[in-house]
């Protein structure tokens, strides 16, 4: 059933159980779903998002795919222009996961990625996959390899197909050509339209003035009064937004840009008053008085969320230093590396 997701026409995908995510993790899961289905279609596999990394960390399937890309380049007569070697990637198919031979396979695939001239910021290291030290780096690199293969006429994951569709739309906007016919909408187990799902996510905003996303066309939105356009697509059960050179989930994008979801947008300022008073011996003394907002109150007999983990005293006996550590003064707006596009295919 999964393999039909790449055929023309409406496709109904199987119902899958809901999985709880932090919004910062969901986009990686969405990419794994897409890449797993893409690999299944190419090689007749039965990968799932849960087994995706376990199935690839011996390097066998990766090297097999590298050779398929080289084969496509040969058939297109592009080996020389792409400066790719005219020899297949060497690998062993009878290796055990985690062994030196498996690491050698993965290392050979990374060397192939370098030969493809993939940017350094998109490459991964052997341990990132074998020991799960950086799952994100591996996924972004594999997605970039898929993009390069698509340029050679190979089957592309749905995310790459979305990129091709968006790029064609942008090029058409700069020309007088007729717009291409719309592609068939992929039907998921959620029968709401794309715009209905966007509105549902926007309605979670609790700001006095709702975070502004203005619909320009189907799948295209403008942020407020700016000229910034974002493109939104449905990828199975996920609402994805194209940012920078890559993708993010719309929920995670809003978590980083909607002030009421990113608490750093609501930090309260602390004012200070400096008082000079005459001291002993004629030398003045200085006293600094801080004007802080009142600390949140908690029901009698309970503790603040942070103190329940740190073993700190109850709220009515907090010092100024302790109040500085309460959750009301801690930013919950993550600024991790998954949020940086940098032109390297990661969400912004």
Three state DSSP letters for the chain: CHHHHHCCCCCECCCCCCCCCCHHHHHHHHHHHHHHHHHHHHHCCCCCCCCHHHHHCCCHHHHHHHHHHHHHHHHCCCCCCCCCCCCCCCCCCCCCCCCHHHHHHHHHHHHHHHHCCCCHHHCCCHHHHHCCCCHHHHHHHHHHHHHHHHHCCCCCCHHHHHHHHHHHHHHHHCCCCCCCCCCCCCECCCCCCHHHHHHHHHCCCCCCCCCCEEEEECCEEEECCCCCEEEEEEECCEEEEEECCEEEEHHHHHHHHCCCCCHHHHCCCCEEEEEEEECHHHCEEEEEEEECCCCCCCCCCCCCCCHHHHCCCCHHHCCHHHHCCCHHHCCCCCCCHHHCCCCCCCCC
Query: Tokens 């084969």 label which residue?
Result: 71
Task: Provide the token pair at 125.
Answer: 């290291």
pLDDT at 128: 98
Domain-wise residue ranges, the chain: 2-170, 194-264, 268-329
Let me know: does 124 contact 114? Beta carbons within 8 Å: no
- pLDDT confidence of residue 9: 41
59: left (phi over 0), alpha (psi -120 to 50) or beta: left
Residue 185: the pLDDT is 46
The confidence score (pLDDT) of residue 228 equals 84
pLDDT of residue 292: 52
For residues 118 and 138, the answer to whether their CB atoms sit within 8 Å is no
Position 72 confidence tier, pLDDT thresholds 50, 70, 90: very high
Identify the band that residue 96 occupies on the pLDDT scale cut at 50, 70 and 90.
very high
pLDDT number for residue 243: 84
Q: What angle is formed at CA 134 by the lines to CA 151 and CA 37, rounded to 5 degrees?
A: 45
CATH of 194-264, one of 3.30.920.20, 3.40.30.10, 3.20.20.70, 3.10.20.30: 3.30.920.20
CATH number of 2-170: 1.10.418.10
Structure tokens at 33: 């779903």
Contact (CB, 8 A) for 36 and 47: yes
- From the number of C-beta atoms within 10 Å of its C-beta (0-12, 13-18, 19+), residue 332 rates as exposed
Instruction: Give pLDDT, residue 237.
Output: 87
Q: Is the pLDDT of residue 214 over 70?
A: yes
- pLDDT > 90? residue 58: yes
CB atoms within 10 A of CB 60: 21
Residue 244 has pLDDT above 60, yes or no: yes
Most trustworthy range by pLDDT among 163-177, 229-243, 308-322? 229-243
Q: How crowded is the C-beta side of 118, counted as CA atoms within 13 Å?
A: 26
Look at residue 209 and tell me whether its pLDDT is greater than 60.
yes
Confidence tier at 289 by pLDDT (50, 70, 90): low
Residue 341 pLDDT > 70: no
Rounded to two decimals, the pTM is 0.66
First to last CA, the chain: 33
Beta strands 213-217 and 220-223 are antiparallel
Whether the CB-CB separation of 137 and 124 falls below 8 Å is answered with yes
The band of 278, judged by pLDDT with boundaries at 50, 70 and 90, is: low
Q: Between 168 and 110, name the one with better pLDDT.
A: 110
What is residue 179's predicted lDDT score, i.e. its pLDDT?
53
Strand 213-217: give its sheet, edge to edge. 213-217, 220-223, 229-235, 238-243, 246-249
Read off the pLDDT of residues 112-165 as tens digits, 9 standing for 90 and up: 999 999 999 999 999 999 999 999 999 999 999 999 999 999 999 999 999 999
């Amino acid at each position: 059933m999964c393999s039909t997701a790449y055929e023309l026409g409406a496709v109904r995908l199987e119902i899958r159980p809901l999985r709880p995510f932090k919004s910062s993790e969901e986009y990686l899961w969405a990419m794994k779903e897409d890449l797993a289905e893409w690999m299944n279609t190419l090689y007749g596999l039965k990968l799932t998002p849960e087994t995706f990394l376990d199935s690839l960390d011996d390097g066998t399937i990766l090297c097999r795919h590298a050779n398929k890309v080289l084969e496509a380049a040969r058939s297109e007569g592009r080996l020389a222009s792409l400066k790719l070697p005219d020899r297949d990637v060497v690998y062993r198919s009878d290796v055990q996961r985690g062994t030196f031979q498996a690491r050698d396979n993965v290392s050979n695939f990374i060397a192939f990625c370098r030969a493809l001239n993939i940017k350094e910021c998109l490459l991964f290291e052997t341990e990132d996959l074998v020991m799960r030290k950086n799952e994100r780096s591996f996924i972004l690199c594999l997605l970039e390899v898929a993009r390069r293969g698509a340029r050679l006429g190979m089957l592309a994951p749905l995310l790459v197909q979305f990129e091709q569709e968006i790029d064609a739309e942008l090029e058409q906007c700069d020309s007088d050509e007729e717009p291409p016919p719309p592609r068939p909408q992929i039907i998921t187990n959620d029968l709401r339209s794309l715009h209905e799902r966007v509105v549902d996510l926007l309605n979670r905003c609790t700001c006095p003035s709702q975070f502004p996303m203005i619909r320009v066309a189907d799948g295209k939105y403008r942020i407020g009064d700016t000229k910034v356009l974002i493109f939104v697509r449905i990828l199975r059960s996920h609402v994805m937004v194209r940012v920078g050179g890559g993708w993010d989930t719309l929920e995670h994008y809003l978590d980083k840009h909607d002030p009421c979801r990113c608490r750093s947008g609501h930090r309260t300022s602390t004012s200070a008053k400096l008082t000079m008073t005459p001291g002993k011996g004629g030398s003045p003394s200085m006293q600094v008085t801080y004007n802080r907002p009142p600390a949140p109150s908690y029901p009698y007999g309970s503790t603040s969320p942070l103190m329940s983990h740190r073993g700190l005293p109850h709220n009515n006996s907090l010092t100024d230093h302790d109040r500085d550590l309460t959750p009301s003064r801690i930013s919950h707006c993550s600024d991790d590396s998954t949020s940086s596009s940098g032109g390297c295919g990661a969400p912004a």
